[in-house]
Structure 1
Amino acid sequence: MGRLRHPGRYRDERRPERACRGRADRLLALLSGLAPYVDARFSLLCHSYGSVVCAHAAPLLAQTGVQVSDIVNLASPGLDVSTVGELGTSARVWVAQAASDRIGWVPNVRVFGVGHGRDPLDPAFGARAVDVDDAQGHDGYLVAGTSSVRRLTAIAVGTGDAHSVLAAR
């Protein structure tokens, strides 16, 4: 369906939140375009800075005409909000980060408009943590044959529950 790349690769590198909002508009347009043709529930798997894009789109998902039941944020640098409630969506919100993922080095702050804020893995954020114990590095979440991809697939198709996918905190 297309890949939404890191916002810094676009014209306005000093204002990544602006690029994220622009990419969120593209995501919403894509979902709106699918609505007349698809009668199914959707799950969004949002990786790295794509998770910021999904966070900016979250409050407007209901207006697309498609049912988004789950938003899974993989390797997120933060979501520009402090809690799940601030996302303004009825979708279940999940978060996952591999122990070996370099995104863990990104400080979870927002100062003078730079940074994406609270770590969505923080229990106070309120997201459901997905166990991705065998994911390796920043791009290893969807590797075939891993328990990580099985858990993420279970969420995407609606069969994931607390016993099968949640990580211990």
Structure 2
Amino acid sequence: METKKSWLRKDLDALRLQWDMLTFYERFEQLVAHVLSVVISIIILVSLWQLIRAVISLLVSDALNPLDHAVYQTIFGMVMTLLIAMEFKHSITRVMARRDHIVQVKTVLLVALLAIARKFIILDPASAPAQIAALAFALMALGSVYWLMRQRDDPADATAAAQAERDRVAHSRSQP
């Protein structure tokens, strides 16, 4: 018990020291991040409860047929909504842990990709082809930007890409 108190005291002292080093705006940012984290946590819990109730209701009424498109749309639309909310929560948690000062663009792109994937899941099969094409184009554009940003930020991917480029150049020089 004594070691637990000293461990907690050390963590609180470190947190207090970090707080003292923050500027006014960084403190404001931290407070907003904590409030948003609580709000999104509540939204996630309520959404999870609604999903559980919907699945139980469908099980009791013997209507849970994943091959039925309407049931599939409802259940997986709710699951995707939960995933989107959890990704938002994760990005806010990163701000709270002081790993990032602001929400990262890659996270926003990932959430947008999830939202479009959710839209495809709940899309009515009889939707207009233009609407499907527009969603597909948006998905490809966001995916491309996300891939480019990941290539830029991920050192392992950047190293592999640089090595592939060096191999390509060396191969082209060795060709007569």
TM-score class normalised by the smaller sequence: under 0.3
Judging by fraction of residues, say which structure has more helix.
2
Give TM-score, length-normalised by structure 2: 0.26
Query: Which is higher, the Rg of structure 1 or of structure 2?
Result: 2
Give TM-score, length-normalised by structure 1: 0.27
